[in-house]
Amino acid sequence: MSEQHENTEHRVREALLAEASEAPAPQDLWARVEPRLERPAARALGWLRGWRLAVGGATAAVVLTLGGAGAALIAADQFSGGEDGALLAERQWRGTDDGSLGAITVNDTDVDLYDTDGKQSASADSPGEFLAYDPGMTGEPTLGPVPSPALEKPSTDLVTGQPSSWDPQVPAGERQVISHASIDLEVGDVNAASTQLRGLVQSLGGFVEHISTSGGPNPEYGSAVVRVPSDRFPDAIDGIERLGKPLGQTLGQRDVTGEAIDLEARLRSERSTEESLLKLLDRAVSVSDVLTVERELSRVRADIERLQGQLEFLQRSVALATITVSFVLPPGSVPVAPSATLQLEVEDVEYSADLVQELVNGAGGAMSRVIIRTRQDSEEAYLSFSVPASALHGTLTSIAVDGVVLHREVESDGRLGQGEQDEDLQARVTVQLQTYRDTELWRSIWVSVAAGLLAFLGVAGTLALLFRARRRRA
Amino acid sequence: MWRFPKAREPIALMACIIIVKDTGVGREDSLIDEQDAIRRCQIGDRESFRPIVERYGSVLMGTIYLMVRDRAISEELVQETFVRAWNGIATFRLGRPLKPWLVRIAVNQALNANARRQTPVEPLSAANEGGAADPGFGQSDEQHEVRQALSRLSADHRRVVVLRYFADLSTREAADALGIREGTVKSRLARALEQLREILGS
């Protein structure tokens, strides 16, 4: 059975072989197959899948991330370096009186440029404040160094005017106190308020030391310094506060009792010296003695006059309180000169700065300052100028076209272009120009991409070499 | 596409090669060459595919011809088989025998072709009955008898017989190639042989 079985199998094999030999494989099978095989590149792509693709992809991702991050760090470093970079140059122009620009200063720092301006304007705007804050700076004859007791010892009570208990020698009624006050008032009409103030002060037995208004026939601002007898000081303050809406006030009192006593003592001593000298002069025999004594006498008399003057001034100050009054119109009632700030990113800072100047001149404005700063990899320009308020928006828009607006701020009372007097208003504009940060950002992005790509190629090449080497070994 | 164990294969293969070389197992030389050729093919070396085509061309051609029974079609299909093998060789798992894998592709080609032609695979018997086949062409009568008997087998049985006795696959490999269970292969083989014996014995 088994033999027959094997026999059958054998016969089947032979028969199949014989049948298959009717159709032998073509001799040129390889030649026919080869052109149909995929190119090696495509094959390599096919090879790059499964775990290889995963590992390769992960490697590429890591390398790209690291490369990108590194490059970004470098770029960021440059970026911040540019921010804090050394200031290479600064050119500065200031507007001259006739409105034209003249090159004036070349500076290597920028610390005090604006400060200076700011201080000047502050002192010019509010002289009264200085009076109120420090009466000693009003430009009156100096009292000399203030004796320390007046400063160091507790002052009298501002409300009651009673002396503190520190100096029992001086009776309460004899204390010498200088009173001063500063009052800001909002009034509907500055001229009317000034007139009222004058009448009030005169009715109290005082006088107007100084009065001024500014802003044309309908003044927007007024200030006055008035003196009233010390005993009418509280009445004066009450009366003045009724002239308008009080915005704020400062009250101050200075005890000068010690100073007065000191002055009187020195005066007494100088007078006794004078008497002694006069007696000496009577007894003098030689000419030289007479000359010597007279020289000494004249010095003492000068001292006496000076001390008397000081004492009189002190007594006058004590007798007459000083009140500084400022009048302002309610907010919104005065057309406020609009101001604007514009911050721009531009391609070429110097070119844009020139453009701004041309625009300002074209609009009938005047440049007041141009500062161009060159840093390591960026430029900045600060331009301040004034243009007629009516041309403000047009000018700003024209400037803004030149770059990317980072910040734009226009401050006005919202009545622009409505009144005729706008023609007279000059809007103050500050424009800051800086180099495109954007281009730097893009540059850093490109650097990152390129660095990542290079790193990737490097790693891929190394891997390929390793694979080749291993294949050869295998 | 993702098959985890593959990651270790190149190393495993290298280890195998070293072991085989060191222990001097000579019989495996051709196998080692073949595996090496496959590995080269996998990374795109077309020239390494040539020995594979040359070695297995006849077997695949015969297998296909025995199933399709048309020389022209078989020649076309065997080329197609190698092209597909090349395309799929990246997924071939190194260390396994190549022939069953190739035969499986070839069988698929043949089955597809038969399905496309939609003609019963009996042209040989019909031709033989018409006397077109030339029995005297170096073939004994007995061989002719067996061929006739084979042609009378059903397509399923004939396929199993071809894979087992011509392509020389094991029952397991044949089952793989045909996509059926090994038990089915065995039973079909037994029945086919029985049938053949009946025909030849009668």
Q: What is the DSSP string of B125-160?
A: HHHHHTT-S-TTTT--HHHHHHHHHHHHS-HHHHHH
More confident residue, A16 or A129: A16
CB A213 within 8 A of CB A189: no
A30, A36, A55: best mutation site toward chain B, by most B Cβ within 10 Å? A30
CA distance A449 to chain B (A): 30
Contact present, B53 and A29 (Cβ < 8 Å)? yes
Q: Is A400 helix (H, G, I), strand (E, B) or coil?
A: helix
Grouping H, G, I as helix, E, B as strand and the rest as coil, residue A142 is: coil
> Cβ separation of A16 and B193 shorter than 8 Å?
no
**What is the chain A residue with the closest CA to B40?**
A471
- B154 is a domain residue: yes
Q: Does B17 map to a domain?
A: no
Nearest CB to A29; choose among B45, B78, B86: B78
* Residue A210, both tokens: 């100084």
Give percent helix, percent strand, percent coil of chain A, each to the nearest 5. Answer: 55, 20, 25
Most A-contacting residue of B165, B169, B197 (CB-CB within 10 A), to test interface: B165
3-state secondary structure at position A413: coil
Interval B114-142 mean pLDDT: 54
Q: Is the pLDDT of residue A112 over 50?
A: no
Stretch A268-287: mean pLDDT = 88
- Contact predicate A440/A72, CB 8 Å: no
Which residues in chain A have their CB less than 8 angstroms from residue B16's CB? none
| Contact criterion met (CB < 8 Å) for B166 and A20 | yes
Interface contact flag, B139 A18, Cβ < 8 Å:
yes
Q: CA–CA separation, A372 vs A340, rounded Å?
A: 19
Q: Say if B165 falls within a structural domain.
A: yes
The model scores a pTM over 0.80: no
**Following DSSP, what letter does each residue of A275-321 receive, concatenated?**
HHHHHHHHH--SHHHHHHHHHHHHHHHHHHHHHHHHHHHHHHHHHEE
Give the mean pLDDT of A389-413. Answer: 82
* pLDDT of B143 above 80: no
Q: Residue A371: what are its φ and ψ, rounded to 5°?
A: -125, 125
Categorize the per-residue pLDDT at A177 as very low, low, confident or very high, splitting at 50, 70 and 90.
confident
CB count, 10 Å around CB of A66?
Answer: 13
Chain-centroid distance of CA A80 in Å reads: 21
pLDDT band at A193 (very low <50, low <70, confident <90, very high): confident
Partner-chain contact B82 A38, CB within 8 Å: no
Nearest to A429 by CA among A95, A58, A76, A19: A95
Measured from the Cβ of residue B39, the count of other Cβ atoms closer than 10 Å reads 19
* Of the listed ranges A118-127, A280-289, A379-388, A423-432, the one predicted with least confidence: A118-127
Q: Is residue B159 in some structural domain?
A: yes
Report, as an integer, the average pLDDT of A114-128.
Answer: 34
Contact A13 B165 (CB under 8 A): yes
Its domain, for residue B41, covers 22-200
CATH number at B157 reads: 1.10.1740.10
**What is the pLDDT, as a whole number, of residue B128?**
44
Q: Give residue for tokens 């514009």.
A: A342
pLDDT in tens, A145-154: 333 333 333 4
Which one, of B192, B118, B6, B71, lies nearest residue A24 by Cα?
Answer: B71
| Distance in Å, alpha carbon of A21 to nearest chain B alpha carbon | 7
Give the nearest partner residue to A12 out of B49, B83, B150, using CB atoms: B150
In this structure, the number of other CB atoms found within 10 A of the CB of residue A89 comes to 12
How many Å lie between the alpha carbon of B76 and the closest alpha carbon of chain A?
Answer: 10
Domain assignment present for B15: no
Residues B3, A14: C-beta atoms closer than 8 Å: no
Q: What is the pLDDT of residue B134?
A: 46
B162 vs B13, residue with greater confidence: B162
pLDDT at A414: 58
- The mean pLDDT value of chain B amounts to 76
Is the pLDDT at A417 greater than 60? The verdict is no
Q: Which of B90, B147, B162 sits opposite A46 (nearest CB)?
A: B90
Distance (Å, whole) CA A308 – CA A303: 8
Element (H, E) at A408: strand A404-411
Domains identified in chain B, total number: 1
* pLDDT bucket at A102, cuts 50 / 70 / 90: very low
Between A33-47, A121-135, A437-451, the lowest mean confidence (pLDDT) is in A121-135
Q: pLDDT tens digit string along A70-100?
A: 877 777 666 554 444 455 555 555 554 444 4
How far is the C-alpha of A67 from the C-alpha of A460, rounded, in Å? 14
Q: Does the interface predicted TM-score (ipTM) exceed 0.90?
A: no
Q: Is residue B11 part of a domain?
A: no
The strand pair at A379-388 and A89-95 is best described as unpaired
Chain A contact set for B49 (CB, 8 A): 33-34, 37
Asked if residue B16 belongs to a domain, the reply is no
* Mean confidence (pLDDT) of chain A: 74
Task: Judge: A23–B53 Cβ closer than 8 Å, yes or no.
Answer: no
* A11:B39 CB<8 A: no
